[in-house]
Amino acid sequence: MMTTTMASPLPPVPQVSGCSRAGRVPGCASSQLRRRRRSLKAAGISTPPPRRRLDDERRPRAAPASLPGLASVRSVVLDIEGTTSPISFVTDVLFPYARDNVRKHLDATYGSDETNDDIALLRAQVEQDLAEGVAGAVPVPPDEAGKDEVIAALVANVEAMIDADRKITSLKQLQGHIWRTGFEGQEIKGVVFDDVPPALERWHANGIKTYIYSSGSREAQRLIFGNTTYGDLRKYLCGFFDTMVGTKREPRSYSEIWQSVGVDRPSQILFLTDVYQEATAAKAAGDHICLADENGVAPRSKFRY
């Protein structure tokens, strides 16, 4: 599944009509899937076998074949959405919870240092959005306008940001604080694929350090893995990275992570993701990579490493 660093440039992402996310081609013709697989193979990026139904994951599987080129791996860096956790957990549980509770959270915590910091970040982002003509951005009045007026404007902006699935620090930080209430109140439990906990335990036992890199805030990451249906999985994790280190589609972000995880070379890092652009960025930085399949469900075989 995993490959070594490639010197030649990567091919462009195939453009397929009707695809919902870059790097995935749900519902597209099989010939288009074959062309995409050939393109990825030429780029040195492994793809999983043809997709299986979700319930196939519950059936007994043959012993995995050995994965070449991974003897040097000392650290694993994991994406969350579509890789360790179902995309539906983020889109159908976390995002709606934040959207439904943003007003309640701001009203209950207004004036606290933490929320003042959140509001300052949101104000700065909204000012930038207004200058750039971003859809859904509305001015946030000064504090003198009163608590209710400020909160109403913030809620309108946050709802628009969530609906647009924006990967921005101001939104992710606020979402993490809202989710904390949900996790602490047992309203939310982190969901991970069945074979993630044993993989984390195995890597930990073998001295392989595992990290999370997600567009969600580090606090949100700790909440998800600290409150899963399998219990607290943070004991197997060595650290968390978010957009403060850089966006996930820029090679320099992975270079920054390499400088932080204590390995000698980026090729000693294995990065697992379900997004093609993230995979190519990590590969450009020298990481080993594994790319998930077209329908957004991470290939479980990578967790057998």
140 close to 153: Cβ distance less than 8 angstroms: yes
Confidence band, pLDDT 50/70/90 cuts, at residue 58: very low
Q: Would you say the C-alpha torsion 38, 302, 226, 228 has a positive or negative sign?
A: positive
CA 215 – CA 221 distance, rounded (Å)? 9
pLDDT 10s digits, 159-177: 999 999 898 999 999 999 9
**Where exactly does CATH 3.40.50.1000 map onto the chain?**
30-55+65-85+190-304
- Where would I find the H helices in 133-250? 147-163, 169-184, 196-205, 218-226
- Biggest CA–CA distance in the chain, Å, is 66
Confidence band, pLDDT 50/70/90 cuts, at residue 301: low
Considering only CA atoms, which of 79, 86, 65, 84 is closest in space to residue 2? Answer: 65
Task: Using the predicted structure, report yes or no on whether residue 298 has a pLDDT greater than 80.
Answer: no
**Where exactly does CATH 1.10.720.60 map onto the chain?**
89-184
User: Domain 30-55+65-85+190-304 adopts which CATH fold?
Assistant: Rossmann fold (3.40.50)
Q: Please state which of the ranges 18-22, 132-136, 249-253 shows the lowest mean pLDDT.
A: 18-22
CA 44 – CA 279 distance, rounded (Å)? 11
Mean pLDDT of the chain: 80
Task: Using the predicted structure, report yes or no on whether residue 209 has a pLDDT greater than 90.
Answer: yes
Distance, C-alpha 219 to centroid of its chain: 13
pLDDT 10s digits, 74-115: 999 999 998 999 989 999 999 999 999 999 999 999 999 999
Compute the average pLDDT of residues 245-262: 94
Task: Using the predicted structure, report yes or no on whether residue 34 has a pLDDT greater than 90.
Answer: no
267 close to 4: Cβ distance less than 8 angstroms: yes
Distance, C-alpha 1 to centroid of its chain: 20
HSE (side-chain half, CA atoms, 13 Å) at 226? 15
Strand arrangement, sheet containing 75-78: 239-241, 209-213, 75-78, 269-273, 288-291
Confidence band, pLDDT 50/70/90 cuts, at residue 42: low
209 close to 74: Cβ distance less than 8 angstroms: yes
pLDDT number for residue 276: 87
| Interacting residues of 243 by C-beta distance below 8 A, sequence separation 6+ | 167, 168, 169, 172, 215
Task: Using the predicted structure, report yes or no on whether residue 24 has a pLDDT greater than 50.
Answer: no
User: Domain 89-184 adopts which CATH fold?
Assistant: 1.10.720
pLDDT number for residue 33: 52
Tokens encoding 216 = 């969600």
Confidence band, pLDDT 50/70/90 cuts, at residue 295: very low
Compute the average pLDDT of residues 234-257: 95
126 close to 135: Cβ distance less than 8 angstroms: no
115 close to 178: Cβ distance less than 8 angstroms: no
- Please report the beta strands in the chain, taking only residues with DSSP state E, as ranges in sequence order: 75-78, 209-213, 239-241, 269-273, 288-291
Q: Please state which of the ranges 37-46, 111-120, 280-289 shows the lowest mean pLDDT.
A: 37-46
Q: Please state which of the ranges 49-53, 206-210, 273-277 shows the lowest mean pLDDT.
A: 49-53
Confidence band, pLDDT 50/70/90 cuts, at residue 284: very high
